[in-house]
Copies of this chain bind each other. A is one copy, B any other.
Amino acid sequence: MFNYPNGKKPSTQTPSTTHSPNLKKSRLGIDFEGLINDSNQYYLNNNIAVIHKKPTPIQITKVDYPSRKSAKITEAFYKIPSTTDYNGIYKGKHIDFEAKSCLGKTFSLARIYDHQVNHLKLIREHGGISFLLIKFNDYDEVYLLESDKLVAYVEASKNGGRKSIPKEYFEEHGHFIKLGYNPIIDYLKVVDKLLEDK
């Protein structure tokens, strides 16, 4: 019934980028954002959830109009995002999360803005499900850390605690997400568990 921007209905089968579950190494070269986008596309195609990445915020300072139809931006700058990367709806619940990948065994808190942590906290307080999704690239491991656990760590950090979160904290207080096939990062399985526990 509806037309899509590229004139095609999104496939209800596999997402455009697929990955063999046996080629674990091959995943390392694929960025985390792409894996999440593929997973969200799978959720959308199968009518499971409607979750999208927000566009990167850009401050546009100069625009050219070479023709009547097309505008070309000739000067722009990256802006600090006011919220998080992803949000949407699942089982009637508002979902909101930030996604980060990191090297080594620790996640530096300098990588996430305080106002983003506060945004996740607010979403939780307003009845939504909010979390940090993190990929430790050297281990090819993904964890979901609920926003209350993240907030607790950040608060402790401000009171003289560590300025980075060790992988062990995610192992202990987060939820490990086994990389799968379709979807690749089935983070809504963890959300199901969180909803059950409520």
Contact = CB atoms under 8 A, between A and B. Distances in A.
Interface residues of A, number: 51
A77 B73 contact: yes
A76 B77 contact: no
Contact of A50 (B1, B5, B75, B122): B122
Contacts of A58: 55-56, 58, 60, 73, 76
Number of copies: 2
Contact of A71 (B72, B77, B90, B123): B77
Given A50-B126, A90-B126, A127-B89, A5 B82 contact: yes
Given A55-B57, A74-B75, A94-B93, A5 B113 contact: yes
A52 B74 CA distance: 27
A162 interface: no
Nearest to A54: B54
A191 B70 CA distance: 37
A49 interface: yes
Contact of A127 (B5, B92, B123): B92
Contacts of A127: 89, 91-93
Contacts of A77: 70-73
Contact of A73 (B49, B50, B73): B73
A80 interface: yes
A105 to B, nearest CB: 26
Contacts of A74: 74-75
- Chain B CB count within 10 A is highest, among A80, A94, A113, for A94
B158 A119 contact: no
A72 B61 CA distance: 10
Interface of A: 1-5, 47, 49-50, 52, 54-58, 60, 70-83, 87-94, 96, 113-115, 117-119, 122-123, 126-128, 155, 158
